[in-house]
Amino acid sequence: MYAQMIKSEASKDDPEKLAEFQAKIDADIKVEPRDWMPEGYRKTLIRQIGQHAHSEIVGQLPEGNWITRAPTLERKMILLAKVQDEAGHGLYLYAAAETLGVSRDELTEMLLDGRMKYSSIFNYPTLNWADIGAVGWLVDGAAIMNQVPLQRTSYGPYSRAMIRICKEESFHQRQGYDIMMKMAQGTEAQKKMAQDALNRLWYPSLMMFGPSDAESVHSTQNMAWKIKMNTNDELRQKFVDQTVPQAEYLGLTIPDENLKWNEDKGGYDYSDPDWTEFFNVLKGNGPCNTDRLEARNKAWDDGAWVRDGLMAHAEKKRAAKTAAE
Amino acid sequence: MANVDKEMLAQFLLRMGDNSLILGHRVSEWCGHAPVLEEDIALANTALDLIGQTQLWLGYAAEVIGDKTADDLAFLRDVWDFRNILLVELPNGDFGQTLMRQFLYDAYQSILLPRLAKSSDPRVAEIAEKASKEAAYHVERSADTVVGLGDGTEESHARMQTALNKLWPYVGEIFASDAVDAAMAASGIAPDPASLRAEYDALVGNVMAEATLTIPEGDFAHLGGRTGATHTEHLGHLLTQMQWLQRAYPGASW
């Protein structure tokens, strides 16, 4: 779930065209880049796909934080492969967004100057090696919850990007759980790291699904357009129900004293995350917001001469080729 | 296995494995900070290939030494036991310096590995066979980038020339043969590095000419990495980070 709080745009289009468009979506016919679409649909999708892409890019940072300290050669390789996949996901998603008439550079600038967001989860730090396990297990686990249904989303390029991404995400989640297993079965110090990681990342993972449906004002339109496939609370419940037995198997304690099985609803009752904290993180007050944006801005600014140099060279080659013809 | 002194063979394998380990580590430091998304992917991919090669070279070294694993060698040796060339342990510098170093290393690997694929030692041949495919791709990419940036804007040209000037004195060490190399050459395990210099100079010369860059004059070479006698100060700091978990929590399984 790398897209949160996606604001929907009201459409001022011809009601007849809108009705036709809705009928197409209801019939599960994919919308393709050349098809007519309401302006609100286009803008909402740009916001959602863009936020998702930015999350993949910023998401490299908390994991990159441990690549140089990975404890074995094999763990280093797995983590490198995972971060490489994430950069690749960013690339597919920017390409999907570009079919809606916005360039990757424009989206990047909106990320860098704070006009566009990325998932709140990446504003939390990775402090011990078990965090890398917990990110795979919980964060990728939460992302999969949302992305599996999004494979059926109405916009063709987004749906196809999601199908490719989901294949890789399930490998990411498994490697995360595998790290957690090693840690939970390891030395006392390793068990402590595993529990510490779960304590810090549990509620931020629940926040990934966005605020409660009652407060989520944009859900209805986005669900009608099949840009959003399930409500936030449905997905959060599903995530809790899936994760609790996994934590039990690891011998770790989920930091929620209200957590208990509810026979009537066939799911767990659990405590909500602190939504004040969530809104603070969105406003830029999370533990790592400043560091993350500074790192991305620095990479972009320091890289300007590289991008300019490679462009200039490509231009010279093109000119030489034209002159030779 | 060819009839060769085991200590000499182990030294040779450590040189191969330590080069890819230390360079792979340096390249992995770029993760998430590259100038453009495609470069983030390419750098992660390069680091991944290099760490993969490390597992094979150090895995074999560990067998020859006995009672060790590749991880023991990577994470539990101190600076004086590392046998990588100084070039790969130098800090990344800017993106231009990183890619210049990559090219200077890839060019050497692209010449060495196809020869090692014909080694009299079947294990060496097998590892080199796999690694040489990666090296062929790496050198193509790093050469393209060096050319693109050397022959790009005034600024990119100046930065690449600065990088080449800084790194060139570290190239000579690659070809500074010693008794280990003589033993490898005598048993047909690996060619004498000095014998590869002419081919290397031709390859690098062509790419630099296309990149409009000038190879500095003089043949001074900083030495001490592949013998372990005098590493740079930088290697110790790299190891403090890379080895931290293994050192802080000895005996744990990860």
Structural domain spans, chain A? 15-324
Per residue in B32-49, pLDDT (tens digit) is 999 999 999 999 999 999
Cβ neighbours of A306 in B, within 8 Å: 35-36, 39, 95-96, 149, 156
pLDDT of residue A324: 86
Q: What is each CA distance from B33 to A220, A300, B180, B232, in whole angstroms?
A: 38, 8, 39, 25
A105 CB near a chain B CB, below 8 Å? no
pLDDT of residue B6: 95
- Are B205 and B171 spatial neighbours (Cβ–Cβ below 8 Å)? no
Residue B103 and residue B100: Cα distance in Å, rounded? 5
Per residue in B172-199, pLDDT (tens digit) is 999 999 999 999 999 999 999 999 999 9
Query: Least CB-CB distance to A77: which of B52, B242, B246?
Result: B52
Query: Least CB-CB distance to A88: which of B41, B52, B246?
Result: B41
**Between β-strands A260-262 and A267-269, what pairing exists: parallel, antiparallel or unpaired?**
antiparallel
With a CB-CB cutoff of 8 Å, which residues 65-124 of chain B face chain A? 70-71, 74-75, 94-96
pLDDT of residue A303: 97
CB burial of residue A188 (10 Å; 0-12, 13-18, 19+): exposed
pLDDT of residue A325: 82
Estimate to the nearest angstrom the gap between the alpha carbon of A146 and the chain centroid. 9
Residue of A nearest to B147 (CA): A313
Residue A104 and residue A174: Cα distance in Å, rounded? 31
Helices assigned H by DSSP within chain A: 15-26, 39-58, 60-67, 73-98, 104-112, 129-134, 141-150, 156-184, 188-207, 219-224, 232-250, 275-280, 289-302, 304-324
pLDDT of residue A4: 76
- Are A1 and A119 spatial neighbours (Cβ–Cβ below 8 Å)? yes
Q: Could you tell me which of A86, A77, A98 has the C-alpha nearest to residue A165?
A: A86
Residue ranges and CATH numbers for the domains of chain B are: 6-248 (1.20.1260.10)
Cβ neighbours of B156 in A, within 8 Å: 305-306, 308-310, 312
For B181, the enclosing helix (H) or strand (E) is helix B179-186
A84 to chain B nearest CA, in Å? Answer: 5
With a CB-CB cutoff of 8 Å, which residues 57-76 of chain A face chain B? 57, 60-61, 63-64, 67-76
Tell me whether residues A186 and B253 touch, CB distance under 8 A. yes
Half-sphere exposure of B123 (CA within 13 A, CB side): 15
Residue A37 and residue A21: Cα distance in Å, rounded? 7
pLDDT of residue A13: 81
A297 CB near a chain B CB, below 8 Å? no
What residues have CB less than 8 Å from A100, skipping those under 6 apart?
A: A33, A42, A45, A46, A49
pLDDT of residue A170: 85
B29 CB near a chain A CB, below 8 Å? yes
**CATH dotted code for A15-324:** 1.20.1260.10
State yes or no: pLDDT of B2 exceeds 60.
no
- What are the φ and ψ backbone dihedral angles of B123, each rounded to 5 degrees? -65, -45
Q: Is A314 helix (H, G, I), strand (E, B) or coil?
A: helix
Q: Could you tell me which of B214, B248, B227, B187 has the C-alpha nearest to residue B18?
A: B227
- Are A236 and A268 spatial neighbours (Cβ–Cβ below 8 Å)? no
List per-residue pLDDT tens for chain A, 325 residues long. Answer: 577 777 777 667 888 999 999 999 999 999 999 999 999 999 999 999 999 999 999 999 999 999 999 999 999 999 999 999 999 999 999 999 999 999 999 999 999 999 999 999 999 999 999 999 999 999 999 999 989 999 999 999 999 999 999 988 888 989 999 999 999 999 999 999 999 999 999 999 999 999 987 766 677 888 899 998 889 999 999 999 999 999 999 999 999 999 999 999 999 999 999 999 999 999 999 999 999 999 999 999 999 999 999 999 999 999 999 988 8
Tell me whether residues A68 and B29 touch, CB distance under 8 A. yes
ipTM rounded to 2 decimals = 0.96
Q: Band of the pLDDT at B212, cuts 50, 70, 90?
A: very high
Tell me whether residues B249 and A189 touch, CB distance under 8 A. yes
- Are A88 and B45 spatial neighbours (Cβ–Cβ below 8 Å)? no
Percent of residues, chain B, with pLDDT higher than 90: 98
Query: Least CB-CB distance to B31: which of A64, A186, A302?
Result: A64
A175 CB near a chain B CB, below 8 Å? no
Residue B192 and residue B210: Cα distance in Å, rounded? 29
B25 CB near a chain A CB, below 8 Å? yes
Q: Band of the pLDDT at B3, cuts 50, 70, 90?
A: confident
- What are the φ and ψ backbone dihedral angles of A219, each rounded to 5 degrees? -60, -40
